[in-house]
Amino acid sequence: MTKKEGKRFPLSEPGPMLPPVPAAITSVKGKGGLPDELSVLWSFVLGSKPPKVGISAEEKHVAEKLLRERGEFVLNVLTKDYVEGFDLVDMHSYEEGNKYELAGFSKGTARKVDAPTVEEAAIQLECEIFDTIDLPPNRTVFFADVLTTSVKGRICDSEGRLIVEKVPFFGMTAGSGEFFTMGEKQGHIGMTADRDDILY
Amino acid sequence: MADKERFELPRPGAMIPPTPAVVMGVAGDDKVKDDLTVVWSFVLDGHPPQVGVSVGLKSAISGDLQVALHLLHKHGEFTLNVPDASWIKEFDKIDMCASERDDKFARTGLTRLPSQLIEAPGIAEAAIVLECRVISDHELKPNRTVFFADVVRTTVQEGVTDEDGKLKPESRDFFGMAAGCGEFWTLGREVGRIGMTKEEVEEIRY
């Protein structure tokens, strides 16, 4: 271990500095004149058995309205080859044009929920909302069950274990806003207890 | 149209890699020592800074009650401690003993770091420490409680950010957990940044 004697500084503004965090695109079906929506939201795991995830959407955002209306969405995990499309989705609103076209993504159909997907996604989680929570001052948080998970190509083994070397996904470094692929494997959950069966 | 290259997994999974791999610190009480534990941790908002943690009722390893849950309910405060790869074994040891009631600092050899705005302890070896105050808690059936919290103070080791408080990801071997295989991976290559496709955009860190 290193560096414990190093100096420590408070940031002038506290920040949720947790590098890396997931970088995923939420897709939700349109309604009432609003088109199908793609949006980059804070996305996170709540539990693995049973699999549950959450997303945090801005109250004023169109995705928030649609998520409330539809109660279903897909989380799409993309690889580094689509990082520009990912950012184009993040930087545009539906009023500026069709986000699928802007980003060069293809629209797919989910299997178990009524929501569009991003076909290019390496991993898709089809999710059904079971709780909607207001988070003042400006967010709505949705908790959801993962009904099914699908992957593009042979990026998992027959047991459903993700093979990181086969899929160059990226995370976001909360604190600098950068996207990073994975570098080197350092270990796995349970490595100090002779466990190698924990995937989440 | 069905995508022939797409496979449904035998069991659905919360596969959104990478996820944060961080240690939560909570203050003890007259019966239990201060606790360190690994929980699902996440960002809820950048401005204001808000985070969440999802804490299991029981340890996934032993099946016994987690120590941290009732302490968190009791005190409503916690720290989030971001490790680097130099103490990844200690990180995993903490993850494997969530139901143990001994001194986790002594167990791992990590150093207690007093917080300034809350009672919960931090870890001196952590590159980044977030001091957090719970806003609300939410029962997550069948076996978890989710806590939402304000980040009231963030401290970093020297060199982890620039003078302006922007994280320097290359300053430490930060690692994330690849949800889907349980592996810890360092960051690799920078492949972009938020706002990269927009010509004039303010720097976005969160």
Domains, in order of start, for chain A = 21-181 (2.30.110.10)
Using an 8 Å CB-CB cutoff, list chain B residues near A48.
Answer: 13-14, 179
Residue B114 forms contact with A (CB below 8 Å)? no
Residue B3 maps to a domain: no
Residue B14 maps to a domain: no
Segment B97-115 shows an average pLDDT of: 95
Non-local (6+) Cβ contacts of A117 within 8 A are: A27, A74, A76, A107, A108, A109, A110, A124
Using an 8 Å CB-CB cutoff, list chain B residues near A159.
Answer: 10
Q: For chain B, where are the alpha helices, taking DSSP H only?
A: 68-75, 88-95, 104-108
Counting residues of chain A whose pLDDT is more than 90, the rounded percentage is 95
Residue B192 maps to a domain: no
- Do A116 and A29 touch, CB atoms closer than 8 A? yes
Residue B32 maps to a domain: yes
Residue B42 forms contact with A (CB below 8 Å)? yes
Q: For chain A, where are the alpha helices, taking DSSP H only?
A: 62-70, 83-91, 99-103
Residue A185 φ then ψ, to 5°: -70, 130
Closest CA of chain A from B79, distance in Å:
11
pLDDT at residue A5, as a whole number: 53
pTM: 0.96
Chain B residue closest in CA terms to A89: B197
Identify the domain containing residue B70 by its residue range: 19-158+167-186
Closest CA of chain A from B131, distance in Å:
9
- Do B168 and A24 touch, CB atoms closer than 8 A? no
pLDDT at B37 over 70: yes
- Residue among B115, B113, B135, B128 at smallest CA distance from B52: B135
CB B136 to CB A133 under 8 A?
A: yes
pLDDT at residue B1, as a whole number: 46
Segment A132-142 shows an average pLDDT of: 98
pLDDT at A1 over 90: no
SS (H, E, C) B51-72: EEEEEECECCCCCCECCHHHHH
Q: What is the CATH number of the domain that holds B143?
A: 2.30.110.10
pLDDT at B123 over 50: yes
Which run of H or E residues covers position A37?
strand A37-40
User: Residue B63 to residues A184, B18, B34, B100, B130: CA-CA distances in angstroms?
Assistant: 32, 26, 20, 11, 29
Render pLDDT for A157-192 as a digit per residue (tens, 0 to 9): 999 999 999 999 999 999 999 999 999 999 999 999
CB A177 to CB B50 under 8 A?
A: no
Residue B130 maps to a domain: yes
Residue B116 maps to a domain: yes
CB B17 to CB A139 under 8 A?
A: no
Non-local (6+) Cβ contacts of A180 within 8 A are: A20, A170, A171, A172, A173, B169, B187, B188, B189, B190, B191
Residue B197 maps to a domain: no
- Rounded to 5 degrees, what angle do the CA atoms B24, B28, B29 make? 155
pLDDT at B4 over 70: no
Structure tokens at B100: 């143990």
Render pLDDT for A20-60 as a digit per residue (tens, 0 to 9): 999 999 999 999 999 999 999 999 999 999 999 999 999 98
CA–CA separation, A166 vs A148, rounded Å?
21
Residue B204 forms contact with A (CB below 8 Å)? yes
Structure tokens at B78: 């916690």
Structure tokens at B60: 């996934």
Domain count, chain B: 1
Residue B96 maps to a domain: yes
